[in-house]
Amino acid sequence: MQEDWGAVLPEERRWERGGIRGGPVGVAIGIVVGGILGAQLSGHAYVEAAGTSNPVTREFIDRFTSFWTGVDELGMAQALATQHKTNLSFVREVFLSLNDDYSTDADDIALEYVKITRKNHGLSQSLQRNRALRKLLIRLPDEGWTSSEEMEAIRYLRQH
């Protein structure tokens, strides 16, 4: 007796209830969703495994990033403000690396750094004298969607 592979019994068609049929459409949706998520996760996994592209900042940034927990934005901003308060060229290098490798976090870390700077007179004075870092801290949040808090930080940086 030969089986009819094209025949599907009604009780075996429960998977159709969601409105998406199996076969080519379901496979195509799976490939698109899986491909997009896979591409994002593989890029994220690569950055986490390899570290930032800038060897000068790699060790510092690695301390605040994790594949599972993401980026400790406030922790990194605090460390830049306390551990590197007299080395603003390194701080600038860190923000350039973040922009290259962690672009979705760079503006948030910049905002936290500016908030800390505003409360620290000495750091604020140093930042005032470092035009290159100030311009970068303005550019990072200004490139994408900018919150009202980021706009306030940009105004502060432009006035000082």
Per-residue pLDDT of 88-144, as tens digits, reads: 999 999 999 999 988 888 999 999 999 999 999 999 999 999 999 999 999 999 887
pLDDT of residue 95: 97
pTM of the entire predicted model:
0.69
- Token pair in block for residue 85: 């308060």
Phi-psi region of 142 (alpha: psi -120 to 50; beta: other; left: phi over 0): alpha
Assign 65 to helix, strand or coil: strand
Report pLDDT digits (tens) over 19-36: 444 455 555 555 555 555
Contact between residue 111 and residue 68 where contact means Cβ atoms under 8 Å apart? no
> What percent of the chain shows pLDDT beyond 70?
68
Contact between residue 85 and residue 122 where contact means Cβ atoms under 8 Å apart? yes
